[in-house]
Amino acid sequence: MAVTGMRRHVRRSLLLLTVALFALASIGVASAQVGTPKPITDEAKKIEDLWIFTLLIAAVVFVAVEGALIYALIRFRKRNDELPVQTHGSTVLEFVWTGIPVLIVIALFTYSFIVLRDVENTAAAEDMTIEVQGFQYQWQFTYQLNDLGVNADPAASGEISVIGTAAEEPTLVIPIDEPIEFRLLSNDVIHSFYIRDFLYKLDVVPGRDNRFVITARETGDYFGQCAELCGLNHALMRFKLKVVTRDEFDLWVAEQTGGNGESAVRRAD
Amino acid sequence: MAAHGIATQHKQGLSNGMLGFILFLASEVMFFGGLFAAYFIARADATEWPPENMLTAEQIARGVKLEVEFALPFIATILLVLSSVTIQFGVLAIRRGDRTALIRWLMVTIVLGLVFLTAQMYDYSQLHFRAGDTVYGTTFYTLTGFHGAHVAGGVIFMGVMLARSMAGQFSAASHEAVEACSFYWHFVDVVWIALFTVLYIVK
Amino acid sequence: MTSIVIPRPEGYARPRSALLDWLTTVDHKKLGILYLYSTMFFFGVGGILALLVRTQLAVADNSFVGNDAYNQIFTMHASAMLFLFIIPVWAGFGNYVVPLQIGAADMAFPRINALSFWLVPPAGILMFSGFLVDGGAAQAGWTAYSPLARGLGPGMDLWIIAVILLGVSSTIGAANFMVTMFRLRAPGMTMFRMPIFCWTMLVTSVLQLLATPVLASALAMLYIDRNFGGAFFDPNGGGNAILWQNIFWFYSHPAVYIMILPGMGIISEVLPVFSRKPLFGYKAFVFATMGIGGLGFSVWAHHMFTTGAVLKPWFGFMTFMIGVPTGVKMFNWLGTMWRGSISFEAPMLFALGFLSMFLIGGINGTFSAAVPVDFALHDTYFVVAHIHYVLFGGSVFAVFAGLYYWFPKIWGRRLNEKLGQAQFWLMFIGFNLAFFPMHLLGLDGMPRRIATYSNESGWEALNMASTVGAFLIATSMIPFIVAVIAAFMRPKDQPNDPWNANTLEWWTTSPPPVHNFDDLPEVHSERPLFDARQSGAGH
Ligand code: HEA
Ligand code: HEA
Ligand code: CUA
Ligand SMILES: [Cu+2]
């Protein structure tokens, strides 16, 4: 009686396990649809390629190992009371399954190293520097009027400053197709400047001068948010990102300065 | 109370207690390692050391001066190194079974330890900066403070050893606690030499 | 087959009141049980806090608990789960099982052992008493990043002191375990015949001994910054805002292996027994454990890729490498089951849950080793998914595998098999429902540690799914609690070795006598009981 009872029981368990894993896989497939980030910068596109490569390898490893596990559970389930052959190990196998992962690791590392170098390559002439000040609990984006990229007037003085408030998320406006440097500064605690569709974030650390350069390739409205716990209203350190054409950008600048090149500090609206 | 009988066959070299004590010292080394790491990072960050340029107007007005005296700590260092020698004489004595000599050497070492602590307190009172005065003050008082606490702990440890030997304990065959105590004291001494080197000598 | 008769130590039988006995005991078995009770209690507390987190996040723009309380709740959730549950629960299993597995009568230092335990409950009370003070409990996350943590209310000081106490507990406990395993093994039990669970406890102890004091130093610095005007983490005084992270992760990455290695040890006890084969590649397994421990000290900055202050390629490479010894273990576990005769009792189910889920947790950790990918994933819910796939899918499944496996030994009764199966399936499904969607949320840009999110974010559906999953996990505790109560209402009826197991703890009675063993079989391999069964010896 015990054996058949056990068998039924095993079969039911395996069935359940298969169903569960199947459900898991379908969540995975469904996920391809829900809002995955849209890489809008050169750098983000490279990161996405690396992500896909990593995902592929991960999928192969996952399917191989999980598959072997499920196969073993079905194939080698207990059928009788006989003691199976008592194998203790195999040096050859140990080398194989140390060696193959090492090769995978080398491949993954090499590719990620190349992407890392590209993403962090700031050698390209950066046309414009935007100063990002993180504070508890919002952001301030500052543009120097003499450093506004291709159409900038080097003799201009003053700045545009957009400050977020608890009630209003600030909007960060940047022109498309131009390298832009972000300079991240904080005077209180650590924040993190994160824009999902850049696939990138960099911490805003008091006492450090962190910078990065991106070139946006798609116009549109995006969003960003502080990604480092910074206290009470960390969740509310949100901001908007607007990638616009050069013309629209110049227009926006003119609007901010009242067209006379004077310094303008504006609260978000 | 611990497992006798079964345990015996593994007994060679260090006793269990001694092994445990050495492991404890290893963890102490890591603790000081963390403090030293903080010190080195602070120093590596600084554009000048001591970081006079970090002083605020308020601190300057208060007369903060980021500098340490060399002479007194140097003498204290020599005394502490000497105390490592004296406690070792005590250990050598009890290994021969000479408890009277052990008592004498423990007393000498305790006095040296107390002199060291007094010198440190006096030194503190003479300095023109506090723990809050830049990371220089913070690291200085944290490192020397934790070391001082360990010296105090060592003095108490030796005090216990002294009391026990005056009560007639310890012999050539059984004086493990004394050995452990000397290990601890040597450890405290070595930490101080490292501290003295980085805080007072390396500019 | 001969057996070795042990001279019985004197002074064990001291009749006293039961309560006093539990309060003053230095018996490793009783201390182990006390550890298990208190850590499971904190698992419940941490779990209830998690349910509050999930309730708050179930819908967008929710104000069920509010920002202030939210930060305290998730901080205390993680602090309870890590410092008061998962780390000390291994000390609990280790306490009960290690001396039995090596054939010793107790730990090397029973009194220090008692001290290790008695530091835990007061530390827990201290940490939670933060909820009563002005400004509330600690709220800087379990990672207590500074400068943030420098400026918070007194709840933070309570947290610091509590974690230091717990650190002392695990440091002296580690030394105790090491000496016990080095010195008190039964005749014939060489290091390479020690049960694998002991090996994992040994490597864990080494990590604890060397890493925990470093955390203590960081906590001391934070305390000094907060209370004596120190400037360790204050850039305005020449300090460094990243210093905390470096020292904290120098401890806390090794600590994640402290949180998983003994779990792997439990799995490595359970799989061979329910596959009826020895552990495949015992020595490779031991070396892989040491490898993980060693590599564990060289990867800490993978938590800091986005600070811009660390050597990214080096830490990325080492982080990838740590998958290699872990893979060796994975494959050896598969090798153990291969051509075995596998049965599916509750301990085995939980062990299989570990294998299938820890695999996911390990692989999604590897994504973060690809540094540019981590730029996207860091501090999003993808990392929260990783945390729970390794810590729940790994460690917690291993805890339950261990509880079902050793319950007959510890309490002399067996947990109801049907209830065990029910618990497993509820937990397995609830777990995946709760934590799988977090991968997608993370990819979709949802940062972790946010008290709420806006309606426009599009994160609501997946969050709701996750919340339902969390409550399913909570439901899975009902069959467990019922099974425990039902078991305690039955008489002790378990034989010495109900599972046909391999290691010495199954040689003695269930539960074992105070002095553990009346006699011991000779040890010629890492499976002394298997050898004894083969040669027809036994009780
Ligand atoms: C039990 C605890 C545990 C364990 C075991 C691990 C294991 C691993 N962890 Fe994880 N980790 C945590 C607990 C744990 N982690 C926690 C709590 C955090 C968050 C802390 C916080 O910020 O709050 C974290 C965060 C964390 C980060 C930081 C993410 C971020 O904040 O951006 C990273 C980055 O690299 C990482 C990596 C890894 C890796 C590579 C492993 C590896 O050890 C995994 C190895 C396993 C496998 C890879 C699977 C099996 C292997 C094979 C089948 C072989 C073939 C595979 C390959 C060749 C790849 N972890
Ligand atoms: C071992 C570790 C562990 C475990 C088991 C869990 C278990 C769970 N965790 Fe947690 N978690 C962490 C470790 C762990 N977590 C860590 C380290 C973090 C990071 C924190 C940080 O950012 O600082 C985190 C963060 C974290 C977050 C992110 C918070 C944020 O970033 O804002 C969330 C969100 O959903 C979450 C959810 C859950 C849930 C639903 C469970 C569930 O699985 C819980 C299930 C358990 C129960 C439901 C208990 C049931 C028991 C009873 C009901 C019995 C009651 C009995 C008594 C009281 C005696 N956890
Ligand atoms: Cu700023 Cu979070
Ligand atoms: Cu880590």
Asked whether the predicted pLDDT for residue B10 surpasses 70, the reply is: no
Q: Is C308 on the interface with A (CB under 8 A)?
A: yes
Sorted by sequence, the CB contacts under 8 Å of residue C416 that are 6+ apart come out as C482, C483, C486, C487
Identify whether A85 is part of a domain: no
For residues A199 and A251, membership in a common domain is answered with yes
Q: How far is A219 from chain C (nearest CA, A)?
A: 19
Three-state SS sequence of C262-297: HHHHHHHHHHHHHHCCCCCCHHHHHHHHHHHHHHHH
With cut-offs at 50, 70 and 90, classify the pLDDT of residue B3.
Answer: very low
Q: How far is the CA of A180 from the centre of ligand 3 (A)?
A: 23
Q: Are strands A171-175 and C3-5 parallel, antiparallel or unpaired?
A: unpaired
Partner-chain contact A229 C444, CB within 8 Å: no
> What are the structural domain ranges in chain C?
24-484
Residues 19-58 of A with CB under 8 A from C: 20-21, 23-24, 27, 31, 34-37, 46-47, 50-51, 54-55, 58
Average pLDDT over residues A153-181: 90
Last residue of a domain, one of A63, A98, A119: A119
With cut-offs at 50, 70 and 90, classify the pLDDT of residue B203.
Answer: confident
Overall pTM > 0.90: yes
CB–CB of C136/C68 below 8 Å? yes
- Assign residue A195 a region (left: φ > 0; alpha: ψ between -120 and 50; beta: otherwise): beta
CB–CB of C422/C372 below 8 Å? no
For residues A132 and A242, membership in a common domain is answered with yes
Please give the helix or strand (H or E) that residue B108 lies within, else none. Answer: helix B99-126
Asked whether the predicted pLDDT for residue A29 surpasses 70, the reply is: no
Protein residue with its CA nearest to atom 21 in ligand 1: C143
Question: Ligand 2: which of C388, C433, C441 to mutate, judged by most atoms within 8 Å of the beta carbon?
Answer: C388
Residues 237-276 of C with CB under 8 A from B: 237-240, 243, 246-247, 250
Q: How far is the CA of A70 from the centre of ligand 3 (A)?
A: 44
Total domains, chain A:
2
Partner-chain contact B28 C213, CB within 8 Å: yes
Nearest to B134 among C171, C237, C246 (CB): C237
Partner-chain contact B6 C520, CB within 8 Å: yes
- How buried is residue A125: exposed, middle or buried, by Cβ count under 10 Å (0-12/13-18/19+)? exposed
Identify whether A82 is part of a domain: no
C65 lines ligand 2 (CB under 6 A): no
Domains of chain B: 17-201 (1.20.120.80)
Question: pLDDT for B33-67, tens place per residue?
Answer: 999 999 999 998 888 888 888 888 888 888 888 88
Nearest to C104 among B6, B17, B24 (CB): B6
Identify whether A164 is part of a domain: yes
Asked whether the predicted pLDDT for residue A180 surpasses 90, the reply is: yes
pLDDT at A166: 83
For residues A31 and A142, membership in a common domain is answered with no
CB–CB of A257/A158 below 8 Å? yes
Q: Is C26 on the interface with B (CB under 8 A)?
A: yes
Report the top-level CATH class of C24-484.
mainly alpha
Residues C473 and C353: their CA atoms lie apart, in Å, by 14
For residues A9 and A113, membership in a common domain is answered with yes
For residues A96 and A16, membership in a common domain is answered with yes
For residues A246 and A208, membership in a common domain is answered with yes
For residues A140 and A193, membership in a common domain is answered with yes
Asked whether the predicted pLDDT for residue A2 surpasses 50, the reply is: no
Q: How far is the CA of C389 from the centre of ligand 2 (A)?
A: 12
Residues B33 and B30: their CA atoms lie apart, in Å, by 5
Protein residue with its CA nearest to atom 58 in ligand 1: A101
Identify whether A44 is part of a domain: yes
Residue C382 dihedral angles phi and psi, to the nearest 5° = -60, -40
- Of the two residues C87 and A124, the one the predictor is more confident about is C87
Q: Is A154 on the interface with C (CB under 8 A)?
A: no
The angle, 0 to 180 degrees and rounded to 10, between the axes of the packed helices C28-57 and C110-128 is: 20
Judged by its nearest atom, the ligand closest to the C-alpha of residue C379 is: 1
Identify whether A189 is part of a domain: yes
Query: In chain C, which residues have their Cβ closer than 8 Å to the Cβ of A102?
Result: 324
* % of residues, chain B, pLDDT over 90: 71
> What sign results for the dihedral spanned by CA atoms C448, C450, C456, C458?
positive
Protein residue with its CA nearest to atom 51 in ligand 1: C327
Question: pLDDT for C9-47, tens place per residue?
Answer: 555 555 568 888 899 999 999 999 999 999 999 999 999
Asked whether the predicted pLDDT for residue C119 surpasses 50, the reply is: yes
For residues A113 and A162, membership in a common domain is answered with no
Question: pLDDT for A53-96, tens place per residue?
Answer: 999 999 999 999 999 999 999 999 999 888 999 999 899 999 99
With cut-offs at 50, 70 and 90, classify the pLDDT of residue A237.
Answer: very high
pLDDT at A125: 64
For residues A99 and A194, membership in a common domain is answered with no
| Span of A15-24, A260-269, C338-347 with lowest mean pLDDT | A260-269
Identify whether A146 is part of a domain: yes
Protein residue with its CA nearest to atom 11 in ligand 2: C78
For residues A101 and A192, membership in a common domain is answered with no
pLDDT at C5: 61
For residues A150 and A110, membership in a common domain is answered with no
A134 lines ligand 3 (CB under 6 A): yes
Q: How far is the CA of C368 from the centre of ligand 4 (A)?
A: 10
With cut-offs at 50, 70 and 90, classify the pLDDT of residue C467.
Answer: very high
**Which of C284, C310, C281 shows the shortest CA–CA distance to C375?**
C310
Please give the helix or strand (H or E) that residue C87 lies within, else none. Answer: helix C87-101
A194 lines ligand 3 (CB under 6 A): no
The one-character DSSP state at C301 is G
CB–CB of A122/A181 below 8 Å? yes
Protein residue with its CA nearest to atom 45 in ligand 2: C47
For residues A133 and A250, membership in a common domain is answered with yes
Asked whether the predicted pLDDT for residue A231 surpasses 60, the reply is: yes
Query: What mean pLDDT is reported for chain C?
Result: 93
Identify whether A184 is part of a domain: yes
C185 lines ligand 2 (CB under 6 A): no
Asked whether the predicted pLDDT for residue C61 surpasses 90, the reply is: yes
Q: Is C418 on the interface with A (CB under 8 A)?
A: no
Question: Ligand 1: which of A61, A94, A98 to mutate, judged by most atoms within 8 Å of the beta carbon?
Answer: A61
Neighbours of chain A (3+ CB pairs under 8 A): C
Q: How far is C251 from chain B (nearest CA, A)?
A: 10
Q: Is C222 on the interface with B (CB under 8 A)?
A: no
Please give the helix or strand (H or E) that residue A130 lies within, else none. Answer: strand A128-135
Residue A146 dihedral angles phi and psi, to the nearest 5° = -90, 10
Identify whether A65 is part of a domain: yes
Q: Are strands A159-163 and A264-267 parallel, antiparallel or unpaired?
A: parallel
Host domain of residue A47: 2-76+90-119
